[in-house]
Structure 1
Amino acid sequence: MRVLGVWAGAAAVSLLILRLGARDTPETVWAPASPTWTDHISFWDSGWYNRISSEGYPTDLPVDANGRVAQNSWAFMPLLPALARVLGWTGWSFYVCAALVATAASAGAAVVMDRWLAPTVGERASLWAVALAWSSPCAAVLQMPYAESLSLLLTAAALALAGRGRFALAVPAIALAAFSRPIGLPLTMALGAWWLSEVARDRLPAARNGRLLPGSHPLDRREREGLLGLTVFSAACTLAWPMLAWLVTGRPDAYTATETAWRDGSLMPFAPWWDRSEWWVGVHLGWLLLAGILVAAIAGLSAPSLRRLGPAAWFWCAGYVVYLLMFFDPTASIFRILLPLAPAAWALALSSSPRRRLVLLAAGVIGQLFWISWVWDASIAVRWVP
């Protein structure tokens, strides 16, 4: 109940900022000026999920004038619209039903993550972590018709169960997570790296003593086999959606071509970060920006407080960071895409003093003011002045 109380307080603050920001929102392609709550939550990718609910997925991929695959619904997973349709008996609109699903999943994710990580950091620090994670700059999206909260709930459940050696119970969570958001690949990478680290413990004395790898309790042979089986299953779930897109559309690259339709059509690993770095600060400074990002990522992953969360949490954060660096196109969505790194909030709460926690909490709420007004509402035209 304490966890839900903290979650509810943070969610209420996000909702308040959303509703106040809506009063300044100009007319958009989705709604008139000063939109109602229902109209306000229909912005951006929410419309794609609504289209999936009402129309399904296209059997023929749309193409542009150059013959390249255009943006379409195959980039979005079916779990959220399917669950929203379960509430169709209420007569409410898709957006209301999907927002309720997302909000319920958000509350569930807070409880699951607390049950997972509180034994490591302590109850008080875990409550602070919930406050920090659900007050982060993009936390408002966890109560929107977006699949972020569903993905966070299912990924946390899978990792929590795997961390306790309950690999069979983690199977349904992994399967559902793979159909909530494109989370299967980083999850497979994390589980696979964890399995490799457990194999290394048997052969490297330093790793066996816990000096190189997170976690002080190595898995026995049966547990390693269970982790390997879970990794293989996660890989199969990752491939299921692209295979389904291929079967329905007849194009082997239906899913990847759709995903890259939001950029230049290329899936070259690491290339988007290099290109965006040059776009942000110029050709001659781009490599410095990218180097700084890499240093920040390495420093964050090597933090002792993050390693103390255990192998499941650490390998997930490491796998997800590597996945983003390899394949993600860092646009304005980068802050929202960082939400799955929520275990970092527990590491921050563990290593921070009460004063620093308050500063981080205030910074997150201030960040919401800017993210909601600049990104979600698109209501402020920012002109940078030196």
Structure 2
Amino acid sequence: MADGTLTRDEPGALERAWQHPALRVAVLYVAARVVTTLFFFGASALSGPASRFGMHAAFGTLVMGWDAQWYWFTADNGYPSTVPVNPQGQVTENQWAFLPLYPYLAKLVGIPLGGWPVAAVFISLVAGYLSALVLFRMLRLKLDATASTWAVLFFVSGPLAALFQVGYAEALFMLWLLLALWLLMQRRYGWLYLLIPLMGFTRPGVLAFALLLGLFGIWRWFTRTREPLGVREIVHIVALAALATVVGFAWQVIAGIATRDPSAYLRTELAWRRNWIPDSASNFFPFDGFLVGAHFWSGVWGWGEYGGYVFLAAAVVAIAALLLFEPHVRRLGVELRLWSASYLLYLLAVFFPQSSIFRLLFPLSPLWGAVAAPKSTPWRVGVLIACIVGQWWWIYNMYALANTYWQIP
């Protein structure tokens, strides 16, 4: 206080380091991965004879379980030139349901790392960290550093955080998606011409991004008096929406050409539905999956003939109201709200609701920003506890038990 005024001490080295997003996110991410690893070892110890993984399944067996086996098989064997069918002539589960970027990237990375499983988990881990870092920087466009940090902590510790440590394509897709949304929020369109094909050949969902771009273009047109809309930006939005649409249908075309069956991809996807409904339709119809699912689950849960439809309608109305009116969601900006609406509409159009719905909601992770926005420490701590409990519940059911039709990730 040399001049009669109070002065704040300079921040120490640790404080300065914590203020750097890359290190802050890294500390949170590593701590969260330690928790997830402990949960997997717990699932290993609790895995019993009824589990598909057997008694006391090894850690490596669990992280390479379920669809990770399909990705691995695809990397080693490629895609069939003829779509496999059962004795009834129905298409059976096969590699065409799995997009090629993740399995072949893991095969390439596995050359120096010692094999596909190590490379697959390595890619998920690295992509998960980079996703968390991009999420932080993206949310900082709308929220303060504290809220953005809490949102990242929820993201890396949430119920689906195991996806950062298993041989699934979700973490890699999340990286491309968050980068694309971050760039869109900044009106930086150039890199999207690369990110859209990367998304489109990593995991299904790029058609939702095409819808987002269409809706975003309409919104930009009607708000052009508040934010000038030049010809160059219009061209970018239209071209990118067209590119996302073409990429979204490209894999169906590739599968059709390779197998000489134009419906190879869609019938392959429908093959998984027969695990729940053996006599389900062999052809795809938009929105049919959720309607059939509403009827199916009504019977399973004893909700009567129309209970499932009532629940579905109520859920659609509630989610629409949340995206339109909830103040913390609105604070995230129109881009993230339009993405959430587009992706949910995409799921409604193409998906049959079953236990994988939890995993398929993973691309809605930017909404963690709305959860973290309230400036209440008890609220944030409570959400974090719920995230960790939910993560254990998911791992326990999907990897320790793994023995019923609703314990499939």
How does the TM-score come out when normalised to structure 2? Answer: 0.85
Match of 1:63 among 70, 79, 85: 85
- Matched with 2:36 is 14
- Matched with 1:285 is 307
SS in 2 for 1:34: coil
Deviation track 1:328-358 (CA, whole Å, cap 9, x = no partner) reads 1110001111110011101111135221111
- Tell me how far 1:16 sits from its aligned partner: 1.2
Match of 2:342 among 319, 336, 339: 319
What is the identity, as a one-letter code, of the residue corresponding to 2:60?
A: T
What is the identity, as a one-letter code, of the residue corresponding to 2:88?
A: N
Question: 1:294-333, aligned counterparts within 5 Å?
Answer: 294-302=316-324, 303-333=326-356
CA contact (8 A) 2:79 2:95 kept: yes
Deviation track 1:227-276 (CA, whole Å, cap 9, x = no partner) reads 11111111121122111111211111111111111113342222322332
- Quick one: structure 1 residues 91 and 105, their matched pair in 2 at CA, closer, same or farther if it must change by over 3 Å? closer
Distance 2:79 2:129 in 1: 29
What is the identity, as a one-letter code, of the residue corresponding to 2:383?
A: L
- Tell me how far 1:29 sits from its aligned partner: 8.1
CA contact (8 A) 1:57 1:74 kept: yes
- Matched with 2:135 is 113
Deviation track 1:106-160 (CA, whole Å, cap 9, x = no partner) reads 1111111111221211111111001112222121122110000000000111121
Match of 2:66 among 44, 59, 81: 44
| Residue 248 of structure 1 pairs with residue 258 of structure 2 | yes
- Matched with 1:156 is 178
CA contact (8 A) 1:297 1:321 kept: no
How does the TM-score come out when normalised to structure 1? Answer: 0.90
Match of 2:148 among 122, 126, 140: 126
| Residue 144 of structure 1 pairs with residue 166 of structure 2 | yes
Distance 2:50 2:403 in 1: 13
- Tell me how far 1:219 sits from its aligned partner: 3.7
CA contact (8 A) 1:158 1:171 kept: no
- Matched with 1:362 is 385
- Quick one: structure 1 residues 114 and 218, their matched pair in 2 at CA, closer, same or farther if it must change by over 3 Å? farther
CA contact (8 A) 1:159 1:170 kept: no
- Which blocks of at least 5 consecutive residues in structure 2 are unaligned? 1-22, 274-279, 298-302
| Residue 338 of structure 1 pairs with residue 348 of structure 2 | no
| Residue 230 of structure 1 pairs with residue 240 of structure 2 | yes
Deviation track 1:28-60 (CA, whole Å, cap 9, x = no partner) reads 786442122211112110110011111001111
Match of 2:395 among 355, 362, 372: 372
Distance 2:53 2:307 in 1: 40
Match of 1:3 among 25, 44, 53: 25
Match of 2:292 among 263, 270, 275: 275
| Residue 54 of structure 1 pairs with residue 76 of structure 2 | yes
Larger radius of gyration: 2
Distance 1:14 1:63 in 2: 38
Distance 2:94 2:375 in 1: 44
- RMSD over aligned Cα atoms: 2.1
- Quick one: structure 1 residues 107 and 28, their matched pair in 2 at CA, closer, same or farther if it must change by over 3 Å? farther
Distance 1:278 1:336 in 2: 22
CA contact (8 A) 2:64 2:167 kept: yes
- Matched with 1:261 is 271
| Residue 93 of structure 1 pairs with residue 103 of structure 2 | no
Deviation track 1:80-108 (CA, whole Å, cap 9, x = no partner) reads 11111122323633222101111111111
CA contact (8 A) 2:292 2:352 kept: no
- Tell me how far 1:195 sits from its aligned partner: 0.9
CA contact (8 A) 2:43 2:396 kept: yes
What is the identity, as a one-letter code, of the residue corresponding to 1:227?
A: I
SS in 2 for 1:167: coil
- Matched with 1:205 is none
SS in 2 for 1:278: helix
- Tell me how far 1:381 sits from its aligned partner: 7.7
Distance 1:141 1:370 in 2: 14
